[in-house]
Structure 1
Amino acid sequence: MRRQRRVQAAGTICWTLLALPIASAYWSGNVVNYSEALNYLGTFIDYEKIPGANYAASGDPLTRTRLFLEYLGDPHRDYPSVIVAGTKGKGSTCAMLASILGATGRRVGLYTQPHLHTYRERIRIGDELIPHDCVASAVTRIARAVEMVHRDHAELGRITWYELGTAMAFCHFSERRVDVAVLEVGLGGRLDATNVVDPLVSVITPISLDHTQVLGNTLALIAREKAGIIKQGRPVVSAPQADEALAVIRGVCAERGASLLVVGETAPWPRSIVRPPPATSRTAGYLSVDLGGSRRDYGTLEVPLLGRVQATNAAVAVATIDELDSAGISVPIDAARAGLRATRWPGRLEIIAEQPIVVADGAHNDESARELGIALGEYFAPTERAIVLGVGVDKDARSIVRGLLAASSRFVVTRSRHARSADPQSLAHLVIGEGGQAWVEPSVSAAIESARAIVGPAGLVCATGSLFVAAEAREWAGLAVAE
């Protein structure tokens, strides 16, 4: 029988399992500190830093994760959940869902990735990031379970950095007694560590070509991986999809007896979208969205995230809320409206500075780049523009550049500090080959300063190509969250 001990630290309550003492390297009679906890996590393989790595290469990931969680008391079974997969809009949709559910007064756990500035962003309850001491006590709790899995079930392969983080989120949400958790899939869906849950609703945001080395090089193959989150008899909400992807989702739903709501067909759709006036400051206004086909009359919804894709994300979130309402998690219309209006999700068409306007956006594939190019024209006044661009080595840089050329032909290319960053010199040659102008700078901050000089105080600079570039742009603007 596992026994839990409650410890008080820094004004928060965390838990440790007395029956599972920490490995001696990280246990000296007290809970390890946050820095040591991160060091411990860093000893495990991190596929986020390995371009094109096969996430199934480390054995049988879901069997291993289930066993790992069983040693921890199956914390993911202590609360209802919603799981969200897709290529684009996962994080924004999760943020909307968490904000709406939080507006009802519930304690809502939110697990997302990657983080912009601090690991703690990945795991939060309401607006509170997981506290430092709770990260430390979570490592205290899980380290011995890791040893037991590796010792007794070596045939399953070694636990990964991502699986540890997912277990930490599940434990934190259990220990803090959340009422519901919103979980963003890290990669794919079928084999993702989050897919051990039995969610009330499975959500699939728009699917496009990305991570093709891992998930497959067609929409059908990628959709098959994403549709792996569909559970027997559980409802599914999907954003509009290409026919190829939607056919796969429909097929999996039929196989598993899962009802399917598709935005624009059987689920609400953005019937009208009113954009705010062109942004000239960090206060950019709200999208006004009227939904057609909703079960309830939400009236005009205000969405604080810019871009027409956010209207679709809002429709997906509202359809999911309607399904949760049917499952017994009631959400009054006023709470849905207030929660949607209060959504915050940095690094997505986010205005981070003025004179000139500087925007940070995490667009990292061809479709998101095209949408960003369109949005820059729709939400900002015609003016001198420059793109600060850095991409990952595993991304289709040419398609990203082509998508952004609609917004500007002037690119200041650079690289983020992330291990997967592509060489900026090669990126500059690609930009020139596509008919653009290119300048090269060694860092994101230097690139922004160079771009600001190019466009002048009345111009527009957009830092994009990856969330890591967007994060370093926010650091330049003094908006980074402290580690």
Structure 2
Amino acid sequence: MQRLATSLRPLRQLGMMGSKPSRSASISSRFKSSAAVPEEPELGEFLDYMEKLKNYERVGVPLGAGTDTDDGFDLGRMRRLLQRLGNPHKQFKAVHIAGTKGKGSTAAFISNILREEGYSVGCYTSPHLLSIRERISVGRGGDPVSAGLLKKVFCEVKEIIDQSIEQEKGALSHFEVFTALAYLLFSEERVDIAVIEAGLGGARDATNVICSTELATSVITSIGEEHLAALGGSLESIAMAKSGIIKHGCPVVIGGPFESHIECIIRHKASLMKSMVISACDPGIQKTLKWLRMEDGKPSQTCDIVIQLEDLQMFITVPNVNLHLLGAHQLQNAATATCTALCLHDQGWVISEKSIRAGLEKTRLLGRSQFLTQMEVSSIGLSGTTILIDGAHTEASAKGLAEVIRMVQPDGVLAFLVAMASDKDHLAFARQLLSGRRPELILLTEVSIAGGRSRIALASTLKEAWTKALLESGADLADVGIMDDEKAIEDHDSCSLITSDPNEVMLASCENASIVDSVKLADQLLKSRSRDQPALIVVTGSLHVVSSLLAALHH
């Protein structure tokens, strides 16, 4: 049942209030308040240069761009650019990772395992949260590449890149140029091995220039319905696109679980490539999530990973491994990384059980099941509230997030603060997140996507999806309306007037607030329901809303 809450003073019900600021003006002011953390001054020239290149993360990916068809991205221009740079991608071995979800976590697990063994590792992932330097790490430490090193490599080859852009008639993209710089940096730093995450799909992704002679193993973590239009329009076409990273004679590790016909597509491609398949969902692999524990005020999960693959002669037992990335999906990613480590060991790489355990346990990622510290919470003026930030933005990742919420805080009051990109499945995301604990509050807001506006999902659009999902779930809905953030933040007393029914889910949107003000508003609305219970605010819907909050905390 849906009810419209009318007793709260600081809100604008459509048609009930006077004029409001123009849409363009409100968007402009809000984007200024949630600007990203400034990069190091010495990267100014480099960032200005990159800013002029076409950025598909910002504007969206063209129809069919990730498919291995005439509509797909032209890998030829990437190969020509690398050839002009001396083919740096041919100077190191690589683990190449594709998949709808789990790529970044699996890449982090694998990289840390290899570093623990003492290897110099290059790691390339996307997107970044605070600094573009996060996309590249090199060496044994795992920290983002230094501004000085990135600037040095860029300055060395800027003229070559200029010539390439001219010869390619301006078609080279931000991602292609940055990928080439990552490969050049790995070559110049003489890494022992690189762990490379595909950006979109696999077959036509700019990272997919690695040949079988350089590829140690490929990894496909999962297949889901994201970027459907860019990857052919079906789950099957997505599977075919991601299978494009499988190379002749090189093993492939598959994460999963997959639908049977999707796994058949991957295995068929592996068969054509004469590639051995190692499945992290093999019956000989046991993954057990045993218990949750608190460490320095933050939760972690204790798990067992047991791999007994008789046919492949791969065996390892890692009991009581303590993972800081939470949920069954992260345990699956850890198992996929462990299978990859065993696959590398089978090829002659020295990797011990001790390094596997240490690498898994040391892995942490910004914006993935990340709990803010009490100091961080206090810095934005809140107390007594737990804030969980997670970049989930698909149906599958919402399912994983719902599981994490149940694990870490099964009781107390709960709020979702959600901002998303326009090209995501908002309804499927909402349905899956609501399959877990029912929240007391859902607050919908807007943030920029990769610094631009073209892919923003309007709060009004999100509201339609969440209203439908809530009513489908049988929830009683109190529509709080569009919050006037300035008044609402100042007016504490009015919050208690919203609804006295503890069974109703409050649904509100906040169009004009910064991300910090949105968090404050969620806190006030949530505590209006109950000040005596533990309060959890979950900030989710995209890595961009997570990035906005982290940037504000950084300031």
TM-score range, shorter chain: 0.7 to 0.9
Q: Aligned residue for 2:28?
A: none
Structure 1 246/307 Cα, relative in aligned 2: closer, same or farther at 3 Å?
Answer: same
Q: Aligned residue for 1:261?
A: 278
- 1:265-317 deviations in whole A, cap 9, x for unaligned? 277341x211314x697421333223242523333122221111011001100
Q: Does 1:417 align with 2:448?
A: yes
Q: Aligned residue for 1:459?
A: 535
Within the candidate set 158, 183, 191, 2:196 is matched to 183
One-letter code aligned to 1:51: G
Deviation at residue 139 of structure 1 after TM alignment:
2.2
Deviation at residue 429 of structure 1 after TM alignment:
3.3
Within the candidate set 271, 276, 280, 2:292 is matched to 276
Q: Does 1:123 align with 2:136?
A: yes
1:54-453 equivalences in 2 (<5 Å)? 54=63, 55=65, 61-125=74-138, 126-152=141-167, 154=169, 158-198=171-211, 199-240=215-256, 241-265=258-282, 268-270=285-287, 272-277=288-293, 282-293=297-308, 295-300=314-319, 301-354=321-374, 355-405=384-434, 406-409=436-439, 410-418=441-449, 419=452, 420-435=455-470, 437-441=506-510, 442-453=513-524
Structure-2 separation of matches of 1:407 and 1:50: 34
Deviation at residue 400 of structure 1 after TM alignment:
0.9
Query: In 1, are the aligned partners of 2:415 and 2:522 still within 8 Å (CA)?
Result: yes
Query: In 1, are the aligned partners of 2:72 and 2:204 still within 8 Å (CA)?
Result: no
Query: In 2, are the aligned partners of 1:219 and 1:244 still within 8 Å (CA)?
Result: no
One-letter code aligned to 1:265: D
Query: In 1, are the aligned partners of 2:73 and 2:205 still within 8 Å (CA)?
Result: no
Query: In 2, are the aligned partners of 1:230 and 1:252 still within 8 Å (CA)?
Result: yes
Structure-1 separation of matches of 2:420 and 2:462: 8
Query: In 2, are the aligned partners of 1:347 and 1:361 still within 8 Å (CA)?
Result: yes
Structure-2 separation of matches of 1:165 and 1:176: 16
- 1:417-436 deviations in whole A, cap 9, x for unaligned? 22322111221233223335
Q: Which has the higher contact order (CA 8 A, sep 6+)?
A: 2
Structure-2 separation of matches of 1:153 and 1:422: 33
Normalised by the length of structure 2, the TM-score is 0.76
Structure-1 separation of matches of 2:191 and 2:301: 30
Structure 1 267/161 Cα, relative in aligned 2: closer, same or farther at 3 Å?
Answer: farther
Structure 1 473/33 Cα, relative in aligned 2: closer, same or farther at 3 Å?
Answer: closer
Structure 1 37/77 Cα, relative in aligned 2: closer, same or farther at 3 Å?
Answer: same
Query: In 2, are the aligned partners of 1:273 and 1:290 still within 8 Å (CA)?
Result: no
Q: Does 1:474 align with 2:474?
A: no
Structure-1 separation of matches of 2:271 and 2:225: 24
Structure-2 separation of matches of 1:51 and 1:116: 18
- 1:204-257 deviations in whole A, cap 9, x for unaligned? 001110011101222111000100000001000001211232111011001111
Deviation at residue 444 of structure 1 after TM alignment:
2.2
Structure 1 gap segments, 5+ residues each: 1-31
Structure-1 separation of matches of 2:82 and 2:74: 12
Residue correspondences, number: 444
RMSD of equivalent CA atoms = 2.1
One-letter code aligned to 1:193: A
Q: Aligned residue for 2:473?
A: none
Deviation at residue 150 of structure 1 after TM alignment:
4.1
Q: Aligned residue for 1:9?
A: none
Deviation at residue 58 of structure 1 after TM alignment:
9.1
Structure 2 gap segments, 5+ residues each: 1-40, 375-383, 471-476, 478-505
Structure-1 separation of matches of 2:126 and 2:307: 31
Structure-1 separation of matches of 2:348 and 2:284: 19
Structure-1 separation of matches of 2:254 and 2:345: 17
Structure-1 separation of matches of 2:298 and 2:318: 24
Normalised by the length of structure 1, the TM-score is 0.87
> What secondary structure sits across from 1:127 in the alignment?
coil
Structure 1 426/64 Cα, relative in aligned 2: closer, same or farther at 3 Å?
Answer: same
One-letter code aligned to 1:297: I
Deviation at residue 392 of structure 1 after TM alignment:
0.4
Structure-2 separation of matches of 1:113 and 1:246: 25
Query: In 2, are the aligned partners of 1:268 and 1:319 still within 8 Å (CA)?
Result: no
- 1:126-185 deviations in whole A, cap 9, x for unaligned? 32211112222222233322333344455xx72110001101111111111111110010
Structure 1 387/322 Cα, relative in aligned 2: closer, same or farther at 3 Å?
Answer: same
- 1:296-355 deviations in whole A, cap 9, x for unaligned? 333312222111101100110000001111112110111111111111111111111443
Query: In 2, are the aligned partners of 1:388 and 1:411 still within 8 Å (CA)?
Result: yes
Q: What percentage of aligned pairs have identical amino acids?
A: 29
Structure-2 separation of matches of 1:223 and 1:59: 15
Structure 1 52/167 Cα, relative in aligned 2: closer, same or farther at 3 Å?
Answer: closer
Structure-1 separation of matches of 2:465 and 2:361: 40
> What secondary structure sits across from 2:372 in the alignment?
strand
Structure-2 separation of matches of 1:168 and 1:129: 14
Structure 1 292/153 Cα, relative in aligned 2: closer, same or farther at 3 Å?
Answer: closer
Query: In 2, are the aligned partners of 1:361 and 1:462 still within 8 Å (CA)?
Result: yes
Deviation at residue 193 of structure 1 after TM alignment:
1.1
Structure-2 separation of matches of 1:455 and 1:289: 37
> What secondary structure sits across from 2:316 in the alignment?
coil
Structure-2 separation of matches of 1:180 and 1:49: 30
Structure-2 separation of matches of 1:414 and 1:452: 14
Query: In 2, are the aligned partners of 1:263 and 1:269 still within 8 Å (CA)?
Result: no
Structure-2 separation of matches of 1:206 and 1:102: 25
Structure-1 separation of matches of 2:153 and 2:192: 20
Structure-2 separation of matches of 1:52 and 1:186: 11
Query: In 2, are the aligned partners of 1:115 and 1:121 still within 8 Å (CA)?
Result: yes
Structure-2 separation of matches of 1:267 and 1:72: 45
> What secondary structure sits across from 2:100 in the alignment?
coil
One-letter code aligned to 1:431: W
Structure-1 separation of matches of 2:231 and 2:157: 29
Structure 1 202/302 Cα, relative in aligned 2: closer, same or farther at 3 Å?
Answer: same
Structure 1 368/202 Cα, relative in aligned 2: closer, same or farther at 3 Å?
Answer: same
